[in-house]
Chain A
Amino acid sequence: MKKILIIEDEKILSEMYKFKLEKEGFEVFRAMEVDEAIEVGKQNKPDLVVLDILLPKESGINYLIKMKNIEELKNVPVLVLSNFDDNETKSRSFELGAKGYLIKSNHDPKEIVEKIKELIK
């Protein structure tokens, strides 16, 4: 069973993605902020990380920076799922190694699951 780590502070959304992904056969872990995500990630070694950008305490961009120094996470693909669609955040995310960037409101959960499947392949 493939493991997904969702880093999202909006409970209403993380519940939704968790439900959909579990229904599709994934094992899902959740974190609400960057440091918590790193801890959860180290323990559970996910196959993919779904990352929000606007998080409490520090931006999701910092996760992309920090994960590079963490053995268990540095090669785990990241799909950024944010409501920010400014070019700076997008370019910065890709520069730091994100594999995909989707705007939450522009996609139904099934489309997001499709993207996750594509990235995990």
Chain B
Amino acid sequence: MDFYIISSFINGIVAIIFGWIIFSKNWKNTTNITFLLMSISVAFWSFSYCEWLSMSTVPEALFWSRMLNLGATFIPIFYLHWVLSILNMAKEKKILLGLGYVVTFLFAFFSFSPLYIKGVMEVSSFLFWPQAGPLYILFLIFGYYSMTIYGLYRLVVARKEAKGEKTHQIDYVILGSLFGFGGGATNFPLMFGIGFFPPIGQPLVVFYIIIFGLATLKYHLFEIKIILVEMLTAIMVVALTIQLFLMPTDTLRALVSMILLLFLIFGYLFIKAIHREIEDKEEAERISRLKTEFISIVSHQLRTPLAAIRGYTDMLKDGDYGPFSENIKVPVNYIHDASVSMIKMVNGLLSVTRLERGKVELKVKYFPIGEVIEECIKDVELRAKEKGLYLNYEKSKEEVPLIKGDPEKIKHAIMNILNNAILYTLEGGVTIAVSLIGSLVRITIKDTGVGIESVEMEKIFQSFSRGKRGVEIYTQGTGLGLYVARSFISMHKGKITVFSEGKDKGSTFYIDIPIKADIVSKQEFDLVPLDLKK
């Protein structure tokens, strides 16, 4: 008997603490309000359960058994309301919920009549177990089972469509529902005189409220930490307060009071510090998200006027609008070239925002790396020639097998390095070589350009970061090319390394890509809001 009293007491305490913690996080949110109401019902049921089991006379036991069932009557509807509000369906299903509340209040109205609980009887090892009346059978059908099964059904349907964190949240709610309602249901057979099935599920109810609490808070690790700290503090405060009243002397009472006071102060400061830490983290995440969204929207919006500037100046240059004097040709060329560099900057920014949002997908297939390199060379050979630079291609002596990866992304990475090599080489030239190193393909891009100082070797791969000599030669770079290149190669489980003997001594970039990397095509898309333009 004591076992059931203790487990019910724990259920009640945990329900109250969790309900309050979650409600206090956001007391205006329906999810949190319905969670509190559900917790209060569970606590009401649990504490009445303790009282009922402690009673020694029939009238007292009957009163408390009706009280506990009054609490139990409200649990299914608050549960259903809470589940629907988690799934953002509460408004859509408001008629159903309204009907649920009406039915629940009807049952509650009759909870002290013999129609609901007939009386108490001796069954199994219990002296005063409540006896179900005809209305109670209706409650089990239309309240307990209908509402919980419907809630579970909604959860399972939503689970199929959910993504990421929401999936975990729903998993927890389903698990909690099975613990709670499964455990709670073990109380029912005895109400119909079925004595061989004791209420063994009763202690499981405690898990239900804990699991729901975690699910409500979206399963954030930080928030679990805070719940544990707050719970521990609350339990300690309760324990110390009880201790305070049990102390035999004033001295001991003063001592315990001091400890309690210190505990309250430190507990408060500790909880406050954790709250601050979470708020700071959330704020940093929010700013970072806003920054990427802002860059993405601005970049898309910039493309339209840039396309117009580029297009019209190109047509002017081509004489589509008729001939014009030589001295106008020069500024028109400048405007065209400036728009093209700005477009490149915008493209770079968009690549970076996609990378930072994890929205870049690989279209994986087997492809010959040689062909990709030849395309890259074709794209830059005119520029190399115009600058008077040589452009050599040293093919691998061994046969290179097909590579598993996304040829467009690999080409993008090679092009970013190759473009830099030509841009930052004033005399001499660039050599591209392909070789096999075990299970890796190595693409070497070696130039006789401005070189990189050793302190800058790592820095140049960071976003918006450029080498000192590079800035001197070409002021308009964004410092994104190598960052994007390294990100794309990393997505292929490969790496880019750089070697330079220093200033004006050229640079060599090594791109190492596994021939058969363990990568797959992702079906994640960059969803830019479609009302961007409107």
Show the binding face of A for B, using Cβ within 8 Å. Answer: 10, 12-13, 16-17, 19-20, 23, 54, 56, 59, 83-88, 103-106, 108-110
Contacts and interface: CB of A to CB of B under 8 A. Distances in A.
A16 B312 contact: yes
Given A54-B532, A104-B307, A106-B347, 13 more contacts: A10-B304, A10-B308, A12-B305, A13-B311, A16-B312, A20-B315, A23-B320, A54-B530, A56-B534, A59-B530, A85-B350, A88-B526, A104-B304
A85 B339 CA distance: 19
B354 to A, nearest CB: 8
A105 B303 contact: yes
Q: For the complex of A and B, list the 7 residue pairs with the smallest distance between their C-beta atoms, beginning with the closest.
A: A88-B525, A83-B303, A86-B526, A108-B314, A104-B307, A105-B307, A105-B303
Nearest to B534: A56
A109 B303 contact: no
Given A23-B320, A54-B530, A87 B306 contact: no
A87 B361 CA distance: 8
Given A13-B311, A88-B525, A103 B303 contact: yes
Nearest to A103: B303
B346 interface: yes
B528 A84 contact: yes
B314 A105 contact: no
Task: Tell me which of A59, A83, A106, A108 has the highest count of chain B C-beta atoms within 10 A of its own C-beta.
Answer: A83
Interface string B350-391: 100000000101010000000000000000000000000000
Nearest to A20: B315
Contact of A105 (B343, B528, B530): B343
20 contacts: A10-B308, A13-B304, A16-B311, A16-B315, A23-B320, A56-B534, A83-B304, A85-B350, A86-B359, A86-B525, A86-B528, A87-B361, A87-B525, A88-B525, A104-B303, A104-B307, A106-B347, A109-B311, A109-B314, A109-B315
Chain A binding surface, main DSSP class = helix
B300 interface: yes
B408 to A, nearest CB: 10
A113 B530 CA distance: 28
B2 interface: no
A17 B315 CA distance: 10
B314 A106 contact: no
B527 A13 contact: no
B66 interface: no
Contact of A108 (B310, B530, B534): B310
Interface of B: 300, 303-308, 310-312, 314-315, 318, 320, 343, 346-347, 350, 359, 361, 363, 525-528, 530, 532-534
Chain B binding surface, main DSSP class = helix
A16 B308 contact: yes
Contacts of A20: 311, 315, 320
B24 to A, nearest CB: 41
B312 A88 contact: no
A12 B318 CA distance: 19
Task: Tell me which of B303, B306, B363 has the highest count of chain A C-beta atoms within 10 A of its own C-beta.
Answer: B303
A112 to B, nearest CB: 8
Contacts of A108: 310-311, 314
A33 to B, nearest CB: 12
A104 B314 CA distance: 13
A109 B305 CA distance: 14
Given A16-B315, A54-B533, A105 B361 contact: no
Nearest to B526: A86
A85 B304 CA distance: 13
Contacts of A105: 303-304, 306-307, 310, 343, 346
A56 B310 CA distance: 24
A110 B315 CA distance: 8
A110 B318 contact: yes
A13 B307 contact: yes
Contacts of B534: 56
Contacts of B311: 13, 16-17, 20, 108-109
B525 A110 contact: no
Given A54-B533, A88-B527, A105-B306, A83 B300 contact: yes
Nearest to B533: A54
Contacts of A10: 304, 308
Nearest to A9: B533
A109 B309 CA distance: 11
Contacts of A88: 525-527
Given A56-B534, A86-B525, A105-B346, A19 B300 contact: no
B315 A12 contact: no
Contacts of B363: 87
A83 B314 CA distance: 18
Contacts of B350: 85
A82 B231 CA distance: 55
A87 B75 CA distance: 47
Contacts of A83: 300, 303-304, 307
A44 to B, nearest CB: 24
A37 to B, nearest CB: 17
A105 B311 CA distance: 8
A27 B312 CA distance: 20
Contacts of A54: 530, 532-533
A99 to B, nearest CB: 19
Contacts of A109: 311, 314-315
A17 B303 CA distance: 16
B532 A12 contact: no
A109 B310 CA distance: 9
